[in-house]
Amino acid sequence: MNDEDSKEHAPLTRETSGKQYFDFWRSFMKKPAIDIRQKSLQDLRKEISQEMTYYVNSELIIPHQDTLLWWREEKNKYPRLSTMARRYLAIPCTSAESERLF
């Protein structure tokens, strides 16, 4: 480590009325930190992509099979997709009831 590197990674201080204090924000902005949430988001995207690929390449369900039941049975294989599918497939697919309310 050369002198220039040690200056860049050393805590930044500022002298105010004879006392030094740590300039947190300047130090924080200079350090190339990896955001933990961003890393988690990248991992989540990868997992979702793998789950989608696995689902798309799987066999088709039997026609006239109860899709909500199928998603409930397959929730361990497709945890994220099954949650989303069960949430949206439970919505009635007719507009007649909703039109009567108005």
| 4 located within any domain | yes
Q: What is the pLDDT of residues 16-59, one digit of tens each?
A: 544 455 555 555 455 555 555 666 888 888 998 999 999 999 99
Q: Using alpha carbons, list the distances in angstroms from residue 6 to 3, 22, 33, 34.
A: 5, 16, 17, 20
Residue 70, pLDDT > 50, answer: yes
The counts of H helices and E strands in the chain are: 6, 2
Q: Domain range spanning residue 23?
A: 1-31
How far apart CA 36 and CA 30 sit, in angstroms, is 17
Output 25 or 78, whichever has higher pLDDT: 78
| 49 located within any domain | no
Question: What is the average pLDDT value for the chain, to the nearest integer?
Answer: 72
| 93 located within any domain | yes
Q: Using alpha carbons, list the distances in angstroms from residue 50 to 45, 56, 88.
A: 9, 10, 21
Residue corresponding to tokens 């039997």: 62
Band the pLDDT of 5: cuts 50, 70, 90.
very low
Note the pTM of the prediction, 2 decimals: 0.50
Count of structural domains within the chain: 2
